[in-house]
Amino acid sequence: MENEIKTFSESYAMKGGEGLHSYAQNSIAQRVGIEAAKSLIQRAIANKFDPNSAYSRKQICIADLGCSTGPNTFTAVQCIIEALELQYKSQGLVIPEFQVFFNDQVSNDFNTLFKKIPCNTSYFAAGVPGSFYGRLFPKESLNVVHSSASLNWISKVPKEITERSSAAWNKGRIHYTNAPKEVVDAYASQYQKDIETFLHARAQELVGNGLMALQIPVANDVTFGSDFYCGKNFELLGTCLVNMAKEGKVDEEKVDNFNLPIYFSTLKDLIKIIESNDDFIIDQMETTDTKTQSIPVNVEAYVSLHRAALEGLIVNHFGAGIVDELFDCYAKKVMEIPAIMDIQNLNVVGIFVLLRRKY
């Protein structure tokens, strides 16, 4: 079991605490995803959650995977519980007790998460440390699984892209955007393995008929070279690192070895991976409407948003010394093309997937 749990590097957790660059203060984009999925989740539970089939259990167990430190996780969980309660009420059934498992990396700031659990919760809360690319719960112990804006984080950087001798060596970049086909393929292959592992683990943990609601960011199209495309933001950050290496501020080899464990599948490829799984029935799959949910941001907030997500990873690889200068450089680049801050321009869309565990 331990091997499965430890596959996801500890350095991937979002920035903890409640400071300026913390995830808690910088997760508006992820919140937009959750808000967009809210009515979809409510509808999904209304249509697909059967209190009678779960009723033999005295408690209903819900897991939010990749919860980070809040507040988005509390919003998502509350939305799910309200929808479940409505189902019990509408059928004249006694509402069961709810147990909620908040999961994230071992290195996640659970202390901050626990302090922020709302006072008026109607559930029993627990934190579960470990990678969701592995088993986290006993067999058939969960009724509902939720995960939002977390499955675009792959379990590890594909080994071959950090090897100088490999055709997939990703020199001078920190992501696969605008990279040779070999690099893109290595990322895509890791992503496929990871999603399969994820589905396999959840298939064991969910009860028969248990529901899994996933909100996954994917690339709407991948026409590199145009003004905007999915991943251009990471490319910009990469050029900052390359510049710092040129100026002797960072070791060049360290930059060549550094790659972001983030991947945005195409919708088509993701569907193929999910459909190839035999354990789940796909109840629903649709893109979420981000058009009406665009985020009002300024450069500072936009940069902090990336810093909250990536600082742990960067500090782990380069040390803490470079972070301020790196994000100052990034801020300047963003100021040159402010339109990059609009998620719609980056062609990232959210896919809402509702899966149901076969009996």
The answer to the question of residue 90 lying near its own copies (CB under 8 A) is no
Q: From CA 266, how far away is CA 258, in angstroms rounded?
A: 24
d(CA 280, CA 119): 35
Q: Does the protein bind its own copies through residue 93 (CB under 8 A)? A: no
Kindly indicate which of the ranges 41-49, 77-85, 102-110, 243-251 contains the residues binding its own copies, using the contact rule CB under 8 A. Answer: 102-110
Among 20, 46, 126, 281, the residue binding its own copies under the rule CB under 8 A is: 126
Whichever of 107 and 239 has its CB closer to its own copies, that residue is 107
Q: What distance lies between CA 156 and its chain's CA centroid? A: 14
Q: 3-class SS at 54? A: helix
Return all residues near 257 (Cβ < 8 A) that are at least 6 apart. 162, 317
Q: Check binding of 291 to its own copies (CB under 8 A).
A: no
CA–CA separation, 356 vs 295, rounded Å? 32
We find the least distance from the C-beta atom of residue 122 to its own copies, in angstroms, to be 7
- C-beta closer to its own copies: residue 94 or 292: 94
- Under rule CB under 8 A, residue 50 binds its own copies: no
| 117 scored as a contact of its own copies (CB under 8 A) | yes
Dist. CA 113–CA 102, nearest whole Å: 9
Residue 123 gets which letter from DSSP? E
- Rule CB under 8 A: is residue 94 a binding residue for its own copies? no
- Under a CB-based contact definition with an 8 Å cutoff, are residues 100 and 168 in contact? no
Q: Which stretch binds its own copies (CB under 8 A): 37-45, 126-134, 186-194, 310-318?
A: 126-134
Which of these segments, 90-98, 181-189, 232-240, 340-348, binds its own copies (CB under 8 A)? 90-98
Rg (CA), the chain: 20
Closer to its own copies by Cβ: residue 38 or 202: 202
Site string for its own copies, 129-168 (x = CB under 8 A): xx----xxxxxxx---------------------------
The answer to whether residue 67 forms part of the interface with its own copies (CB under 8 A) is no
Strand 142-148 and strand 59-65: pairing?
parallel
Coil, strand or helix: which one is 119? coil
Euclidean distance between CA atoms 333 and 224, whole angstroms: 18
List contacts with its own copies (CB under 8 A).
1-2, 6, 58-59, 96-99, 101, 106-107, 109-111, 114-115, 117, 119-122, 124-130, 135-141
